A and B are shown apart, each in its own frame.
Chain A
């Protein structure tokens, strides 16, 4: 007995001894981001090693705002992410619902195509999307351009389809017998029951929209309509720019998500894992 708990102790020490440094290395860049955002530029570019935060965040923030209207960009990002998430959850729920609970001609075909798109990389469609939105529709630098094209996320549909298939069919039969119409069944019974899945999906979608870089970079490059990542990105290549300000921007970009993540860690992870298992 004694030797067992001793070997367990050794194993525990080894385990934590391995993981703790790894975790520290992993958190290091995020920590440094935070530290840099509070240091003046001369501090960031000084010879010494500084690992603790300072007090210069507000100065850096002012520099940032001077270099680019970051607050404006953040607002755009927030609005886009919220609208996108709501619309996307709605659309994918409806599609997932149709695919899960109705037998109709072409059903397996549709499912097959949607599954197929997951394996194709995004780069295949980005050029035509750009041509379509910017040239043919003339919608560059608009809200619509930021929100609508990414709405087709396939993972969401498969996710919701999975959730709806697992619900007992008798529930919906009972409602039909009671004369409840199909859209009411969807809205009043299926959706409320799918809330946890929808929450996980919403988190993933919000994150994707918030952090999306390439598409907004292409389509919304006018300074007044840039999203926050794009705005920040424009500063990174410049020579005369406040890096402290950039870091402040990075922190502002990251902080809300990080907070949500800490609060909702379980949902996040459940969502990602569930998507993978499928």
Chain B
């Protein structure tokens, strides 16, 4: 038996090695770097340099505000949409379920760069298909890239388009795991279908929806590719610069690793805090 356990370590070792090197150590290191002055060579410890800057930096607050706005708008919209999609997909009346599933799930498969490119073309102010279609129903062309509000809307649309289907599939599998007889019992009790949905389905789906919310929060906190590629590096003028983008800018364009690490840790703490908040709000009443 002891011999057996030794082989367990052997099986675990390669993964654990990579894990320790590329995850555990970086987490610690990131924390340490955030307390260092990385503008000098060699780096020195300066406890308040980066963190102090963080709390007074308008660029940081701008990025934080943008990120939170996207979070607050996009996550609920997307989750609701995903739930609606899931419910519709679950209907026994549906024909060609495979096609619909494909349609909603395909955005995830497409990949960030490709879809960012398409969206950039589609929302082009002068020649983009979206403005042309809007013109067709009498709406003036929207300045998607030069107007910060429009740019934010664009980002929200893009991210929602990308992830709604993914979450819909997850919620769908949750729906499918609810046993039929629960609904049958309710129908026998003459409970309307709508009430069934509110009082049976939604509560039973709560853990799955919470899971999706947490995933979305973590993802949105780090949003990078969309503002980088679609709205041209957080344009206009930082109007869509997210924390993820700010991190990238500080770390790899200004090479200020110390400050960037402070930003990174703030993002992580925020993400975990919001997730925990979600879990706490959605906890089972005792």
B residues apposed to A, CB below 8 Å = 4-5, 7-12, 14-16, 18-19, 21-27, 29-30, 33, 85, 88-89, 91, 93-95, 98-107, 109-122, 124, 126-127, 129, 132-133, 136, 161, 165-166, 169-170, 172-174, 177, 208, 211-212, 214, 218, 221-222, 224-225, 229, 232-233, 244, 247-248, 251-252, 257, 260-261, 264-265, 267-268, 271-272, 275
Contact = CB atoms under 8 A, between A and B. Distances in A.
Contact of A33 (B109, B118, B132, B260): B118
Contacts of B22: 125, 129, 132, 148-149, 151-152
Given A15-B88, A121-B267, A152-B18, A265 B275 contact: no
Interface string A1-36: 000000010011001101100111011011011001
B121 A49 contact: no
Interface stretch (A54-62, A192-200, A209-217): A209-217
Contacts of B95: 16
B170 A273 contact: yes
Interface string A73-116: 00000000000000000011011011100111000001001100
Given A30-B107, A214-B225, 10 more contacts: A94-B12, A124-B267, A125-B26, A125-B27, A127-B257, A127-B264, A149-B22, A229-B112, A236-B116, A236-B117
Nearest to A113: B24
Between A8, A22, A149, the greatest number of chain B beta carbons within 10 A of the residue's beta carbon is seen for A22
Task: Please report whether the interface of chain B is mostly helix, strand, loop or mixed according to DSSP.
Answer: helix
A250 interface: yes
Interface residues of A, number: 92
Contacts of B229: 233, 236-237
Contacts of B12: 94-95, 98-99, 110
Contacts of B111: 210-211, 213, 229, 253-254, 257
Given A29-B161, A95-B12, A110-B12, A250 B267 contact: no
Contact of A26 (B33, B103, B117, B232): B103
A167 interface: no
The 7 closest A-B pairs by CB, nearest first: A102-B8, A128-B26, A273-B173, A125-B26, A211-B111, A95-B15, A250-B114
A236 B116 CA distance: 9
Nearest to B165: A26
A109 B52 CA distance: 35
Contacts of B275: 119
B9 A30 contact: no
A97 B8 CA distance: 8
Given A49-B133, A218-B252, A269-B105, A120 B27 contact: yes
Contacts of B107: 26, 29-30
A32 B118 contact: yes
Contacts of B244: 123
Contacts of B103: 23-24, 26-27
A180 interface: no
14 contacts: A19-B100, A26-B104, A30-B118, A95-B16, A124-B30, A125-B26, A127-B264, A130-B252, A176-B4, A183-B10, A229-B111, A232-B113, A236-B120, A249-B114
Contacts of B33: 127-128, 131
B118 A36 contact: yes
Between B12, B166, B170, B261, the greatest number of chain A beta carbons within 10 A of the residue's beta carbon is seen for B12
A229 B117 CA distance: 11
Given A49-B136, A254-B109, A123 B170 contact: no
A237 B5 contact: no
Given A117-B23, A182-B7, A273-B173, A122 B118 contact: no
A272 interface: yes
Interface string A121-155: 11111111111100000000000000011011010
Contact of A98 (B8, B25, B115, B271): B8
A261 B23 contact: no
A97 B13 CA distance: 12
Given A47-B127, A49-B133, A276-B173, A121 B218 contact: yes
Contact of B19 (A11, A12, A152): A152
A205 interface: no
Nearest to A22: B85
A102 B4 contact: yes
Interface in A233-256: 233, 236-237, 243, 246-247, 249-251, 253-254
B6 to A, nearest CB: 9
A47 B103 CA distance: 28
A119 B218 contact: yes
Nearest to A102: B8
A171 interface: no
B202 to A, nearest CB: 17
B4 to A, nearest CB: 6
Between B15, B19, B23, B111, the greatest number of chain A beta carbons within 10 A of the residue's beta carbon is seen for B15
A128 B25 contact: yes
